[in-house]
Amino acid sequence: MYNTCIAAIATPLLVRIPQLRPLNIVRDLPGVADLVEKCFADTMDADGRTYIQQMRRAGQDNVFLRWASSAVETASMPLSGYIWEEKGDIIGNVSLIPYRHARKKYYLIANVAVRPEYRNRGIGRALTVAAMQHAKQRRADETWLHVRDDNPGAIELYRSLGFVDVTRRTTWQAQPDRNASAGSLGIVVTRRAARDWPAQETWLRRLYPDLLTWYQPMPWNSLRPGLGPALYRFMSDYDVRHWVARTDSISSAVVSWQAMAGRTNRLWIAVPPEGNEDILTALLLHARHELFWREKISLDFPAGQYNTSIEAAGFHPHRTLLWMKSNETSPDENRKSI
């Protein structure tokens, strides 16, 4: 019964719209890379540029393409999706990235992009609906997407298709700096001890909730103290550092730094809900100072929390992403004629 209904919903969209077709991983990657680069030019960062380069390289790698053709529904990479094509040109794209977590199947809809001169004709809507139907046909438990919160047009599109806001996360960035100093704040920051872990874990679980871990798994083995995790880090060549700020010998906030191969290094902040703003500032300044010989650091945090202390430590907001989840059982693709 379920399959019959899905087929009735899904087939007509692809049949009725000849310009809409599934992504062909062997042929389309260079064209999709060009489109995504053009459509996201204003907001693309270093990680985004690396992603585009990887897409271009993958498009020329025959071994990869052979593997990718067979792995489209299992790899956590944008190997499947839909294309809007006119006269042989790629006009629009949507990517689908599958994830598995805690026995559930997730799809992330990404890279929704339409060439500027073709916008406002319903192409973005048709591509997103095709992606939603794809996820539904493959029995996804949940379908998500991330959109910058300063992109009202795209947010409006997704809301009209039944996506609802779940959370907003801000990515902050800063350069490590030998001269960063928290001296004037009079707060003592030291290396983390094993006894700081219970509070750190509790605060981390609140700030990086389970709800988000299908996409952003917590690196618990990199963060936990103890011999087992240390051995794991040694074997896996993971580099981490931890610092704690204490008040009256009790930990008030903890920060962990994690080196990320090929990507911006990360900080994980653990603070109580109503903690002292200066303590977090001091901790972050200390981390910037101690890491002076390292590359840029980035920090993902619930939007709107501790903004003043993070900014006072020399971090700037890189972007805020709205995480949206589909509540729609039958996306309405007919709101605009194409």
- Contacts to ligand COA by CB under 6 A: 39-40, 112-114, 119-125, 147, 151-154, 156-157, 160, 335-336
DSSP β-ladder status, 297-302 and 163-174? antiparallel
Closer by beta carbon to ligand COA, 160 or else 167: 160
Least separation in angstroms between residue 215's CB and ligand COA is 15
Element holding 45 (H helix, E strand) = none
Least separation in angstroms between residue 165's CB and ligand COA is 13
Closer by beta carbon to ligand COA, 40 or else 99: 40
Closer by beta carbon to ligand COA, 163 or else 214: 163
Least separation in angstroms between residue 156's CB and ligand COA is 4
**Cα(121)–Cα(51) distance, integer angstroms:** 28
Least separation in angstroms between residue 25's CB and ligand COA is 21
Closer by beta carbon to ligand COA, 170 or else 309: 170
Closer by beta carbon to ligand COA, 14 or else 259: 14
The single residue listed with the structure tokens 């996804």 is: 140
> Is the C-alpha dihedral spanning 84, 323, 304, 294 positive or negative?
negative
Closer by beta carbon to ligand COA, 122 or else 302: 122
Least separation in angstroms between residue 48's CB and ligand COA is 12
Tell me if residue 17 falls in helix, strand or coil. coil
Write out the two tokens for 131. Answer: 């992606």
Nearest residue relative to ligand COA (C-beta): 124
**Cα(151)–Cα(5) distance, integer angstroms:** 34
**Cα(221)–Cα(145) distance, integer angstroms:** 28
Terminal C-alpha separation, the chain: 30
Helices (H), 161-226: 197-207, 220-223
**Cα(79)–Cα(100) distance, integer angstroms:** 15
Least separation in angstroms between residue 322's CB and ligand COA is 9
Least separation in angstroms between residue 249's CB and ligand COA is 47
Angle at 93 between CA 90 and CA 97, to 5 degrees: 140
Closer by beta carbon to ligand COA, 154 or else 180: 154
Closer by beta carbon to ligand COA, 20 or else 269: 20
Residue 274: half-sphere exposure toward Cβ, Cα within 13 Å: 0
Give the Å distances, CA to CA, from 331 to 9, 160, 192, 205.
9, 9, 50, 34
Count of residues making up the chain: 338
Least separation in angstroms between residue 135's CB and ligand COA is 16
Least separation in angstroms between residue 11's CB and ligand COA is 21
Neighbours of 166 (CB within 10 A): 12
Write out the two tokens for 79. Answer: 């190997």
Closer by beta carbon to ligand COA, 124 or else 331: 124
Angle at 154 between CA 153 and CA 160, to 5 degrees: 95
